[in-house]
Structure 1
Amino acid sequence: MKDIFKNPSIETLVNEIVALNHSWKAAVELFGDDSPLSQSARDLKGCLQVRLLQSYPDQVYLIIDKETSETAGEELYSLCLVTPINNRNNAEHLPVRVAKKLLSQQEIAKRENDVM
């Protein structure tokens, strides 16, 4: 039997990232940016995005989303999926500053250079 907690499928990770992104945005609306719930959802989403990048390097790559970055006021990576999952082409956005904290410069460079 496959242990989904030890080695989740790419579909599971993408679904969890999307759900956490929605939860994080709802928590910010209800409780503000500084609430523990908002921060936990945001941080867990980032950790799952890193796990997705590291677990499925041939199926996910990073690209700066210029339009969304401009709206957000900081550079954001889009975690682009080589093959869409549940009609999604990406696994949400990850701020570049967060990627730099959670990934090595070599990992970032490799994921940026692996554009399919």
Structure 2
Amino acid sequence: MSVKLDEVILRIITVNHAWKLSRDEFGNDFGATKSLRHTKSSLQATLLREFPGDTYLISATDNEDQDEEMYSVRLRKVFVINGLERRDAEHLPVRIAEEIFTKQEINNFLQQ
């Protein structure tokens, strides 16, 4: 059974919210926090790899409250998720992108 683009986007957003709640409540080193962060990154990798015509990466410019370089996982068209228009599927730290993608994949995602 094939997974649908909007379902992956919804999962990423949902896991991202859960990760932030866990991080704020229990800290970055808590097991569930780490697991949620890993799950979000894995879903973002699936999104970029499985839907290359619908997604791309750009350097995030709206991350002034982040302490590391980030990519924004962008959508080529607007999706309505939970009643809100979405043009992205959250941020992905460059450090994590470099762990889960090859340099060629990153270059391809950035050049789209």
Coarse TM-score class (shorter-chain normalised): over 0.9
User: Aligned partners of 2:68, 2:25: CA distance in 1, in Å?
Assistant: 23
The residue that corresponds to 2:109 in the other structure is 111
Could you list the structure 1 runs, at least 4 aligned residues long, displaced by more than 4 angstroms after superposition.
none
Pick the structure with more helix per residue.
Answer: 1
The residue that corresponds to 1:51 in the other structure is 46
User: Aligned partners of 2:48, 2:88: CA distance in 1, in Å?
Assistant: 12
Q: Which TM-score applies when normalising by structure 2?
A: 0.93
Shift of residue 100 of structure 1?
0.5
User: Aligned partners of 1:17, 1:59: CA distance in 2, in Å?
Assistant: 15
The residue that corresponds to 2:79 in the other structure is 85
Number of residue pairs matched?
108
Q: Which TM-score applies when normalising by structure 1?
A: 0.90
The residue that corresponds to 2:25 in the other structure is 30
Shift of residue 30 of structure 1?
1.4
2:65 to 66, 71, 85: 71
Give 5+ residue unaligned stretches, structure 1: none
Give 5+ residue unaligned stretches, structure 2: none
